[in-house]
Amino acid sequence: MMAGVLRAGTSFNAYSTSGVEIEVLYLAIDLLLLFAIVAVYAYVRERSGWMGLVGFILALAGTGSIVGPDGTLGGVDMYVSGATTLSIGLTVLSVGAWRAALPRPVCALWIGSTLIGVGGIVAQGPGVWFTLAGLALGVGFLLAGLRMWRDPEAETMGRT
């Protein structure tokens, strides 16, 4: 839930802001997202099928590559490639989890976050698009956390 709250809250932050404090905040958010992805997959793993597994692996790899200071590797912006991999992974996981215990609004928010982000790239105006994509991503994690907190046994009880 904290990953979602912090990610949604920082969606309104100017991404041009720099400094140690902001880097530490984003490090904390990325680590919390990493743990949240593991928790979400553990929650839906039996009912999300192979798509859930593929999405989990992609989301984990994408998040793992953005933890820490941003930079380039061989001319590739690691934040952009990691965030893209994370978004694709959450989209694939969402498709797999659509019929699992994860609420459909969570899946829709994660898929929507990816679509909004892609729309922002195509429109070459990442400002408001990036804010909306981050907000959808964060709210999705918040709702997923609330569901798992309220109903930790949902996977064995069926979808409600």
Give the count of domains, the chain: 1
Residue 78: inside a domain:
yes
pLDDT tens for residues 31-58? 999 999 999 999 999 889 999 999 999 9
Q: In this structure, is residue 114 part of a structural domain?
A: yes
Q: Give the integer Cα–Cα distance in Å for 66 and 142.
A: 20
- Mean pLDDT across the chain, nearest whole number? 87
Per-residue pLDDT band for 156 (boundaries 50, 70, 90) equals: very low
Within-domain flag for 120: yes
Q: In this structure, what DSSP letter does residue 67 have?
A: S
Helix (H, G, I), strand (E, B) or coil at 76: strand
Residue 12 domain-assigned (yes or no): no
CB-CB contact of 106 with 113 (8 Å): no
Output the pLDDT for position 112. 96
pTM for the full predicted model? 0.87
User: Which pLDDT does position 159 carry in this prediction?
Assistant: 46
Domain that holds residue 106: 18-152
**Is the pLDDT score of 102 beyond 90?**
no
Please tell me which residue, 10 or 16, carries the higher pLDDT value.
Answer: 10
**pLDDT band at residue 11 using 50, 70 and 90 as cut-offs:** confident
d(CA 99, CA 43): 13
Q: Which residue has the higher pLDDT, 122 or 84?
A: 84
**What is the distance between the alpha carbons of residues 19 and 92, in angstroms, rounded to a whole number?**
34
